[in-house]
């Protein structure tokens, strides 16, 4: 479990939204402490607090230690019973989860699917599962939905762009389907970028996350923010050109990284070994199958060579490998060895290369945090309350 990191202006908070950010970031403050921290007049602060109380964004919690007069009460962010619904979609499976605002998964279900089917056939069964998970709760309030897809995504609109893995989907198919079922904010993000945020434990971290499953995706987080790129395609490293005349990639070119190091490419090479799924690869690697181990080592070595350039460019302190293939110990260790061998010492210094959380844990965590950030941002709260921020 990770907690959303809130970028709050600890002093000078004047609007409703920035005041809520301050309360969230500190875990709660008394009215006197808020007056001292914000510099607002008493009348303005109390008006702001009353508006937030009416909309159930805050509540008066436990009494604080007395300082010579009546005990003051701590003003806390009211996230009681608030939940987020997350859909972490891969190419062959999806996890649907209900989480609280601290990222704790309350209920979840993982199912097999094929994302290259028409959007309606993929999304509606998952929406049905989401409804069932929400119905299983008790006195919960859905505040937003997060959806991860294995394709580039335009952050502002949530539209899928350059949909190589889902070529038949309309750009706004995900947003339209989710909004039709639930009238709450919807966040759509690339699955690897959501995973990168979920693996980032501290805003001071620079994290590169690489998901190796059927395909290859990458997310980069710097100071708590996901690197989106000019057109939502940052981290699409699966289509880096590695060699001329290689296997045909689904993007239409030959020799892409995905044709050497993805789970899909491994399945193509191991088909004669009776290996038909990614789970088969994981099981065979665990059993010490020599052919599978050799294929994994070769794929990991190629990936590590490509990632050395990314690591040198970004200079992260964490490189995290996710997905069913990326978390296989043999694979992860080979990637680490190749990266650390290829980069110069000043880039390798302090860099950790590890396997990430199992399954879709990181993606669900990242999606939950993105939703919380959108729903409770100062801008969103101010717009909701039509705040003009009068001078105080």
pLDDT tens profile 344-386: 999 999 999 999 998 899 999 999 999 999 999 999 999 998 7
d(CA 293, CA 281): 9
Name the phi and psi angles at 60, rounded to 5: -85, 120
Three-state secondary structure call for residue 341: helix
Instruction: With a cut of 60, say whether residue 87 has pLDDT above it.
Output: yes
Q: What is the pLDDT of residue 65?
A: 58
Q: What is the pLDDT of residue 279?
A: 95
Mean pLDDT of 242-247: 81
Instruction: With a cut of 80, say whether residue 3 has pLDDT above it.
Output: no
Q: What is the pLDDT of residue 70?
A: 54
pLDDT band at 271 (very low <50, low <70, confident <90, very high): confident
Q: What is the pLDDT of residue 203?
A: 84
d(CA 321, CA 355): 5
pLDDT band at 71 (very low <50, low <70, confident <90, very high): low
Percent of the chain whose pLDDT exceeds 70:
92
Q: What is the pLDDT of residue 4?
A: 34
Sequence-ordered list of residues with C-beta below 8 angstroms from that of 18, at least 6 positions apart, any chain = 8, 9, 12, 378, 382
**Mean pLDDT (the chain, rounded):** 90
Sequence-ordered list of residues with C-beta below 8 angstroms from that of 372, at least 6 positions apart, any chain = 4, 84, 101, 143, 144
Of residues 87 and 230, more confidence is placed in 87
Instruction: With a cut of 70, say whether residue 202 has pLDDT above it.
Output: yes
Instruction: With a cut of 50, say whether residue 183 has pLDDT above it.
Output: yes
Instruction: With a cut of 80, say whether residue 388 has pLDDT above it.
Output: no
- Asked which of 34-43, 98-107, 125-134, 183-192 is least confident by mean pLDDT, the reply is 34-43
Pair 370, 187: CB distance under 8 Å: yes
d(CA 123, CA 91): 13
Percent of the chain whose pLDDT exceeds 90:
74
Instruction: With a cut of 80, say whether residue 175 has pLDDT above it.
Output: yes
Q: What is the pLDDT of residue 232?
A: 78
Three-state secondary structure call for residue 152: coil
Q: What is the pLDDT of residue 64?
A: 54
Q: What is the pLDDT of residue 244?
A: 81
Relative to beta strand 82-89, strand 318-322 is unpaired
- Asked which of 143-152, 155-164, 339-348 is least confident by mean pLDDT, the reply is 155-164
Residue ranges, CATH 3.30.420.40, the chain: 82-184, 200-359
Instruction: With a cut of 60, say whether residue 12 has pLDDT above it.
Output: no
Q: What is the pLDDT of residue 380?
A: 94
Q: What is the pLDDT of residue 63?
A: 67
pLDDT band at 389 (very low <50, low <70, confident <90, very high): very low
Q: What is the pLDDT of residue 318?
A: 96
Q: What is the pLDDT of residue 192?
A: 95
CATH class of the domain whose range is 82-184? alpha beta
Of residues 237 and 84, more confidence is placed in 84
Instruction: With a cut of 90, say whether residue 245 has pLDDT above it.
Output: no
d(CA 343, CA 308): 6
Instruction: With a cut of 70, say whether residue 10 has pLDDT above it.
Output: no
Q: What is the pLDDT of residue 386?
A: 73
Relative to beta strand 206-212, strand 318-322 is parallel
Instruction: With a cut of 60, say whether residue 298 has pLDDT above it.
Output: yes
Three-state secondary structure call for residue 322: strand
Residue ranges, CATH 1.10.10.10, the chain: 16-78+376-384
Q: What is the pLDDT of residue 217?
A: 93
CATH class of the domain whose range is 200-359? alpha beta
Q: What is the pLDDT of residue 161?
A: 84
First vs last C-alpha separation in the chain: 39
Mean pLDDT of 255-272: 92
- Domain 16-78+376-384 = CATH 2.60.40.730: no
């Amino acid at each position: 479990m990770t907690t959303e990191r809130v970028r709050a202006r600890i002093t000078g908070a004047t609007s409703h939204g920035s005041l809520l950010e301050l309360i969230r970031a500190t875990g709660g403050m008394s009215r006197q402490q808020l007056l001292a921290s914000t510099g607002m007049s008493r009348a303005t602060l109390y008006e702001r607090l009353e508006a937030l109380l009416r909309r159930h964004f805050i509540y008066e919690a436990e009494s604080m230690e007395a300082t010579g007069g009546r005990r003051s009460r701590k003003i806390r962010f009211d996230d009681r019973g608030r939940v987020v619904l997350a859909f972490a979609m891969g190419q062959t499976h999806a996890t649907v989860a209900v989480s609280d605002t601290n990222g704790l998964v309350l209920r979840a279900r993982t199912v097999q699917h094929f994302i290259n089917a028409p959007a309606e056939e993929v999304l509606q069964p998952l929406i049905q599962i989401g409804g069932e998970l929400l119905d299983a709760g008790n006195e919960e309030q859905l505040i937003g939905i997060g959806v991860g897809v294995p394709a580039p995504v335009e952050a502002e609109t949530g539209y899928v762009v350059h949909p190589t893995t889902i070529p038949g989907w309309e750009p706004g198919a995900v947003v339209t389907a989710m909004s039709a079922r639930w009238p709450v904010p919807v966040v759509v993000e690339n699955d690897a970028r959501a995973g990168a945020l979920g693996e980032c434990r501290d805003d001071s971290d620079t994290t590169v996350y690489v998901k190796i499953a059927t395909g290859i995706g990458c997310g980069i987080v710097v100071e708590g923010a996901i690197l989106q790129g000019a057109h939502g395609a940052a981290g699409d490293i699966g289509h880096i050109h590695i060699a001329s005349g290689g296997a045909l990639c689904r993007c239409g070119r030959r020799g892409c990284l995905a044709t050497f190091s993805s789970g899909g490419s491994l399945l193509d090479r191991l088909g004669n070994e009776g290996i038909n799924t990614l789970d088969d690869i994981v099981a065979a690697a665990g059993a010490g199958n020599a052919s599978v181990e050799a294929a994994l080592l070769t794929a990991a070595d190629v990936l590590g060579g490509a990632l050395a350039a990314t690591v040198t460019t970004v200079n992260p302190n964490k490189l995290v490998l996710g997905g069913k293939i990326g978390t296989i110990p043999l694979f992860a260790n080979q990637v680490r060895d190749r990266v650390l061998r290829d980069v110069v010492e000043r880039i390798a210094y302090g860099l950790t290369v590890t396997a990430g959380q199992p399954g879709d844990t990181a993606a669900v965590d990242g999606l939950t945090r993105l939703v919380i950030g959108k729903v409770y941002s100062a801008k969103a709260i101010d717009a909701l309350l039509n705040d003009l921020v009068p001078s105080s």
